[in-house]
A and B are shown apart, each in its own frame.
Chain A
Amino acid sequence: MKTEISFQLNGEEVTVMAEAHYRLIDLLRGPLGLTGTKEGCGEGECGACTVIVNGRAVNSCLYPALEIEGKSVTTIEGLLGPRNRPSILQQGFIDHGAIQCGFCTPGMIMSAKALLDSNPEPSEEEIREALLGNLCRCTGYVQIVEAVKKAANELKRMS
């Protein structure tokens, strides 16, 4: 049974058809063509599919598609600035070697963004706590944590 749903996606209103068993990630990667959001496990264990819904980081692989009606969704594609410019947080990941295979990266950045949006000056402990739902097999997390710290400083400096 297909139902039409509308929501805000990266600042724009979109309308798609969804079925009862669809998850938000199915809409994003399927009809909406946003493959930046990755599916690493489909069980809410790895965090590769993290997106922000109404200001909170959630696993888009667990989020019922039909419940996204009327809500506001930000994906990794929504972070890019004008003229193809990475956001400060993305640039932090690039500059500090926080990216290797990159499969966890979009989800990791979305979790970090949700953290910095609500807590602009997080401690290292708070950063690690915020990222504990995002598994990374390549980096050992050290440079990721550094990247988030540096991005927080940079954002503070600019505000």
Chain B
Amino acid sequence: MTLSNIVYYEPRTLTEIFKLLKGLNSVRVMAGGTDLLVDLKQGLIDTRNIISLHKIRELKGIEKKNNTIKIGALTSIQEIISNSLINQHIPALADAAKSMASHQVRSLATIGGNICSAVPSADLPPPLIAAEATVDLKCLGSSREVPLSDFFRGPRETICRKEELLTSIFIPLQPPNTGMSYKKFTPREATALAVASVAASLTLKNGVIAKAVIVLGAVAPTPVMALKASKSLTTKEPSEDSFQETALTAKEESKPISDIRGSIWFRKELIYVLTRRALDEALSRAQGKLE
């Protein structure tokens, strides 16, 4: 494949995109471009056509409608970090965004790209799943909204069909007394990929946990909900003991692999620690003790 033969499209409307996606065979959608150009240059992917999204304004931006926050797929990581709606309603998502890469990359990379590249260690999916986010998948003449927790199939594999485009992410406003947290472990202070990560969401009602969601990152082919661990907390009073027990359950539920970034044993230990720390922070936020 010769790179100079690649055809580049800059559609101005969603309909144009959908037509192109339907009509073209070898095609890649480019959001921020931070992965695509590198992969192309290194010969990791092969394509005849590139569809750039950068002229589609409606894919950018964050807004609140009714009880939902809508994030356009083309919204940059930097915008998520600095957006007041995000910081007010789901600070854990801003935390996750802040933990990603460098300023230079955050200005280019997008939330849609971070989700669609479906890397197991991606930072935004765990808090989004913990917040019960859904994604809008559109194509010519139809549209479907699916929970993000159902979106991933495996490393670099999603349910998004060839003719479909992920256009936006919806996050329901969290019920009162809900707190969320995202904790990740990296081998170096900055810009590193997660060796393991945990997002936790706690909703309190009359002093007991009405609902808990724990999502694990980088310890399975996709971000996964730790179902048993999440369930084990409901109706319990938040306490160090209950959090510890839950963290142990999460550790058992995780199914990491050993690779150059960490062993199975180490990643499981990390899940235990991170789960506890995420629950501690989520609790503080639910109790209004943070921010």
A interface residue numbers (CB < 8 A to B): 1, 3, 19-21, 23, 42-45, 47, 50, 53, 56-59, 61-64, 66-67, 111, 114, 129-130, 132-134
Contact = CB atoms under 8 A, between A and B. Distances in A.
A50 B50 CA distance: 24
Contacts of B33: 62-64, 67
A132 B104 CA distance: 10
B3 A43 contact: no
A62 B34 CA distance: 5
Contact of A1 (B6, B10, B104, B190): B6
A58 B104 CA distance: 4
Interface stretch (B36-44, B171-179, B200-208, B273-281): B36-44
B78 interface: yes
Contact of B8 (A3, A23, A58, A59): A3
Contacts of B263: none
Contacts, number: 90
A63 to B, nearest CB: 7
A17 to B, nearest CB: 11
28 contacts: A1-B5, A1-B8, A19-B8, A20-B7, A20-B8, A21-B3, A21-B40, A23-B41, A42-B41, A44-B38, A44-B101, A45-B191, A50-B104, A57-B103, A58-B104, A58-B108, A59-B102, A59-B104, A59-B105, A59-B108, A62-B34, A62-B105, A64-B33, A67-B33, A111-B103, A114-B103, A132-B189, A133-B191
A159 to B, nearest CB: 24
Interface in B83-115: 101-105, 107-108
A95 to B, nearest CB: 25
A133 B101 contact: yes
Contacts of B10: 66
B70 interface: no
A67 B33 CA distance: 10
Contact of A57 (B41, B54, B107): B107
Interface of B: 3-8, 10, 30, 32-34, 37-38, 40-41, 50, 52, 54, 78, 101-105, 107-108, 189-191
Nearest to B55: A67
A19 B105 contact: no
Given A57-B104, A58-B108, A59-B105, A21 B41 contact: yes
B34 A1 contact: no
Contacts of B5: 1
B105 A133 contact: yes
Contact of B104 (A23, A67, A111): A111
A7 to B, nearest CB: 13
Contacts of A21: 3-4, 6, 37, 40-41
Given A62-B32, A129-B103, 14 more contacts: A19-B4, A20-B3, A21-B3, A23-B41, A53-B107, A58-B104, A62-B33, A66-B52, A67-B33, A67-B52, A132-B103, A132-B190, A133-B103, A133-B104
